[in-house]
């Protein structure tokens, strides 16, 4: 509640509705994880729960939650993630409040807090996408410009290099990741239909912000679905000569998502040379 009040004072109040939604999303994981002698999630369990939530829901690895060489039994508190993001006194209050662990509401509130900072970063990416596209933030743009702005946003979101020639980089991005372009189009159409309705009506920055919010909410689910589909595709092409493996020729012919060459796959540890087979 202290955290919610502080963020509210800064004009970014945490929605009770969203905290409630997160509580329900986190409930099964909270119930499954071991509790400490206070009946709460200890710091390591809370970090793990938050990590799982953001990876599954947003396909996002939040710095400070993932392992980075540590064991999940590390006693460091998730509250440490907020360092440099909230006033020092507030971090101290939170550390004191969460000293014994996290109940379900506390876990949901903390997840909502992280979402708040993720949203803030997403808006900054969107502003950057406007700038590199030669657009002003207060400019109402035509719907024909929306795909390019969203492509630039997504390139920033996944750390795709923009290079010195945005159009060239964007063309390569579209060619190599058509499934992401399709995803952006789906989200764009859904939000524009909901927020504007008219087919050719101009789009203000507020609506673009709604689109990137929806992208953040849906991207993890889409990634999970795509990963499962890719795994099924590869499983169907399992080599008869090397169980549990797919021959490189079959891999490269499995579709547009399987374009990496042997040198890259070998260097990444995703391929190996198997005696009695040709190639990797």
Residue 102 three-state SS: strand
Q: What is the pLDDT of residue 12?
A: 45
Between 137 and 250, whose confidence is greater? 137
Environment class of residue 123 by beta-carbon count within 10 Å: exposed (0-12), middle (13-18) or buried (19+)? middle
> How big is the chain, counted in residues?
280
Judged against a pLDDT cut of 90, whether residue 204 lies above it is answered with yes
Average pLDDT over residues 29-57: 85
What is the pLDDT, as a whole number, of residue 55?
A: 77
Which run of H or of E encompasses 188? helix 178-195
pLDDT, tens only, 125-166: 999 999 999 999 999 999 999 999 999 999 998 888 888 888
Q: What is the pLDDT of residue 252?
A: 67
CA atoms 77, 83, 89, 90: torsion sign:
negative
Average pLDDT, the chain: 77
Which pLDDT does position 73 carry in this prediction?
Answer: 45
Rank 36-40, 106-110, 127-131, 248-252 by mean pLDDT and report only the highest: 127-131
The confidence score (pLDDT) of residue 225 equals 59
- Tens of pLDDT along 214-227? 998 787 666 655 55
Long-range CB contact pairs, 265-269, < 8 A, 24+: none
Lowest-pLDDT choice from 20-34, 77-91, 177-191, 192-206: 77-91
6 vs 28, more confident: 28
- Angle (CA) 158 146 127, round 5°: 55
Structure tokens at 93: 């209050």
Which pLDDT band, with edges at 50, 70 and 90, does 123 fall under? very high
Confidence of residue 265 (pLDDT cuts 50, 70, 90): low
| CA-derived radius of gyration, the chain | 22
Of 73, 87, 79, the residue nearest 110 (C-alpha):
79
Q: Closest by alpha carbon to 78, among 52, 104, 42?
A: 42
Q: Delimit the domains of the chain by residue range.
A: 2-114, 133-233, 237-280
Residue 210 confidence (pLDDT): 94
Three-state secondary-structure class, residue 141: strand
Measured CA to CA in angstroms, residue 157 lies from 89, 128, 162 at distances of 31, 11, 11
Three-state DSSP at 276 gives: coil
* The model's pTM: 0.64
* Lowest mean pLDDT segment, chosen from 6-15, 40-49, 168-177, 227-236: 6-15
Structural tokens at position 104: 């379900």
């Amino acid at each position: 509640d202290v955290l919610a009040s502080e963020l509210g004072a800064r004009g970014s109040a945490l929605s009770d509705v969203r905290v409630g939604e997160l509580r329900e999303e986190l409930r099964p994981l909270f119930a499954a994880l071991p509790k400490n002698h206070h009946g709460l999630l200890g710091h390591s369990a809370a970090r793990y729960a938050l990590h799982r939530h953001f990876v599954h829901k947003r396909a996002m690895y939040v710095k400070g939650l993932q392992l980075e060489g540590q064991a999940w039994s590390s006693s460091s508190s998730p509250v440490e993630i907020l360092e440099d993001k909230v006033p020092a006194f507030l971090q101290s209050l939170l550390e004191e409040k969460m000293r014994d662990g996290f109940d379900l509401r506390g876990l949901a509130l903390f997840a909502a807090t992280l979402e708040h900072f993720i949203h803030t970063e997403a808006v900054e990416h969107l502003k950057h996408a406007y700038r590199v596209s030669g657009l002003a933030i207060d400019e109402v743009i035509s719907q024909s410009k929306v795909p390019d702005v969203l492509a630039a946003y997504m390139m920033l979101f996944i750390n795709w290099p923009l290079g010195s020639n945005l159009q060239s980089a964007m063309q390569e991005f579209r060619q190599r990741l058509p499934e992401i372009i399709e995803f952006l189009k789906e989200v764009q159409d859904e939000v524009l239909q909901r927020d504007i309705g008219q087919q050719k009506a101009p789009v203000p920055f507020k609506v673009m912000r709604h689109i990137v919010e929806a992208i953040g909410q849906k991207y993890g689910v889409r990634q999970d679905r795509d990963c499962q589909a890719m795994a099924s595709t590869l499983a169907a092409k399992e080599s008869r000569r090397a169980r549990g493996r797919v021959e490189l020729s079959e891999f490269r012919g499995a579709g547009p998502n399987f374009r990496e060459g042997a040198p890259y796959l070998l260097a990444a540890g995703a391929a190996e040379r198997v005696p009695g087979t040709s190639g990797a």
